[in-house]
Amino acid sequence: MNEAADSTRPIGVFDSGVGGLSVLRALRAELPLERFVYVADNGHAPYGERDDAHVLKRSHAIADYLITSHGIKALVVACNTATAAAIQTLRAAYPELPIVGIEPALKPAAALSKTGVIGVMATRGTLNSEKFRKLLAGLHGAGTFVLQPCDGLADAIERFDTNRIQSLCGEYTQSMGNFGGTTGEMDCLVLGCTHYAFVDSELATLVGNQINLLEGGAPVARQTRRLLDQFRPGTLNQNPASAQSNLPMFYSTGNVNLLESAVQRWLKMNCKTLALHLD
């Protein structure tokens, strides 16, 4: 395949549902000339409350679909749980494909925190994963991390159930302890699920606007650019005319209307979402 054709191939992005749209938003800001294909596996969501075997199977099925049906030039796993469960086996299965995962921003939070106490909100699947345990172990002595599994929150965001969102955000932030800038208080809150970026204003109201909220979309977008640059020079799209017509393609394995509504709400974009059936 020549460089011109290579540069116009899309980047694949997937999540268990709408949360990965926060990563897609960052990707489009960082790489405005690129084409994207987004798959929401909301027929099998939420991943964070599924076992690793299920998430692994779904991740490989979606990756295979994006490679064979869309000829993607890179894959972004826009889900903390799927990254933890499947990133290593995906890279082993597709060694020629740049694959970018996402992980909770513990390292940036530790560097930023002045109190040394950092809150982490994530799905139970992410917090229980070996990848997360290794990440946490690598930061031994860098700070105190207060871990909060947030059962049901991703699903509430998926369905845009505002009453349940407010109730769960209040319940989980209260159970974590005190937020603030004095000794023993949490001055950083890591949003360890891509869905949670869409309720940052609700969380800021609960913990205080002075608390640093950290999510992973922008670092993933920068890493995607770096990998494409390094993996095969000429892979990035350099044609400015592309920006006018490069609306993402959206696919859903579940409720198409939920994804369309989320795209309109959070990306300010009208889109046609296609139903996708994967075994």
The span from the CA of 199 to the CA of 211, in Å, is 15
150, 169, 188, 193: the active-site residue: 193
Cis amide linkage into residue 46, ω under 30° from 0: yes
Is 5 in a helix, a strand, or coil? helix
145: amino acid identity, one letter: F
Quick check: is 271 catalytic?
no
| Structural contact between residues 22 and 194, judged by C-beta atoms closer than 8 angstroms | yes
114: amino acid identity, one letter: K
CA dihedral 138, 141, 146, 148 (to 10 degrees): 10
Eight-class DSSP state of 243? G
The span from the CA of 78 to the CA of 47, in Å, is 12
85 half-sphere exposure, CB direction, 13 A CA radius: 27
79, 150, 169, 188: the active-site residue: 79
| Structural contact between residues 43 and 17, judged by C-beta atoms closer than 8 angstroms | no
Quick check: is 79 catalytic?
yes
Q: Which residues are catalytic?
A: 79, 193
